[in-house]
Amino acid sequence: MNQRVKALWLPSLFSLLGAMASRLILQRSVLPSQPLLNHAGLPLSHQLLWLAGLPLLGAGSACLSRRAGGSRSTILATALCPAIVMIPIWAVLATRMRYPSPAQWFGLFWGIFYWVLTPGLALLLGAIAFLPSPTSGKAHLNYRVRSFWFPALVSLALAMLCLSISTLAGLQPSVVAHGWAVLVAYIPWILLLPPCGALGAYLSRRGGGGVWTRIGVAVFPVSAMSLLVALLALTKQFVFAKPLAVYVAETVIFGALIPSAALISGAVPFLKTSNNAMPESQ
């Protein structure tokens, strides 16, 4: 058995099979759930129970990989394997929507949140304790994870949670007429974005991130969503109405510029240098 198998594939298989088996057991213990807000097929209590057990799987796979001599990137890949596997699956689902509707978009964002983002964060929390101390060539990776990727994922997860909640309110016919549903979902989301940007910038500053790194972390939710829209547009699954220039401009303004401004407004208090922040040279 070579080193790659011992350090990467076996720990990844342990993490993936453990996550699948625990979820299957929970799904078999409850009746199927069909409502729009169904927490990826599980009641909220069972979903939280599943997430609570994922750090143990992340820690176990990271421990196995480290004992086999895995690098930091290998250890992270093995721990995050269950979440990584779901990324192409949800990418295919996003590009297969023939007639996108608010309900379908809501289901897509909610599914990504419950199948990719929150499991990834839970697995990462368990693996952090088993990451080797940064040395020479590995120091940059350690800095990049703690100053950008981890805060960015936290900011994205929180922003998508806020989007899901506000979208759910907008989809309720008892709240407002159908023509105003978009505004009912959009305005509360914009008002909830500053705390998302603030949390991301704060975590990035704690990790030693510079000013531009903190800004990049704060606007990461918009960057990720813009990339998704661009992918859908390139695959002809998302088509702008005519006149094209008008609707593209509206998408940029209301889908990118205003949300980015809201995120950055929350990050502003954390753009100043902090004495508690770890230096970037570490």
pLDDT digits (tens, 9 = 90+) for 65-111: 988 988 888 888 999 999 999 888 887 777 776 666 666 777 777 78
Are 1 and 40 contained in the same domain?
yes
Out of 99, 117, 132, a domain closes at 132
Alpha helical stretches, state H, 68-180: 72-79, 81-95, 102-112, 118-127, 139-144, 150-170
Which pLDDT score, from 0 to 100, does residue 160 have?
77
pLDDT at 53 > cutoff 90: no
Q: Which helix or strand (DSSP H or E) is residue 98 part of? A: none
Q: Which residue has the tokens 């929507």?
A: 97
Are 160 and 180 contained in the same domain?
yes
pLDDT at 166 > cutoff 70: yes
Q: Which residues contact 235 (CB under 8 A, 6 or more apart)?
A: 95
The better pLDDT of the pair 21, 275 is held by: 21
pLDDT at 123 > cutoff 80: yes
pLDDT digits (tens, 9 = 90+) for 249-261: 887 888 889 999 9
Residue 235 three-state SS: coil
Which pLDDT score, from 0 to 100, does residue 150 have?
81
The better pLDDT of the pair 243, 34 is held by: 243
pLDDT at 30 > cutoff 70: no
Out of 112, 132, 152, a domain closes at 132
pLDDT over 90 for what percent of the chain? Answer: 18
C-alpha to C-alpha distance for 119 and 101, rounded to whole angstroms:
26
Which pLDDT score, from 0 to 100, does residue 174 have?
43
Out of 132, 150, 176, a domain closes at 132
- Does the global pTM surpass 0.85? no
Which pLDDT score, from 0 to 100, does residue 1 have?
62
Token pair listed for 145: 């994870």
| Amino acid of residue 131 | L
Average pLDDT, the chain: 77
**Span 196-225, mean pLDDT?**
90
Which pLDDT score, from 0 to 100, does residue 10 have?
92
Are 175 and 241 contained in the same domain?
yes
Number of domains forming the structure of the chain: 2
Are 107 and 78 contained in the same domain?
yes
Are 34 and 160 contained in the same domain?
no
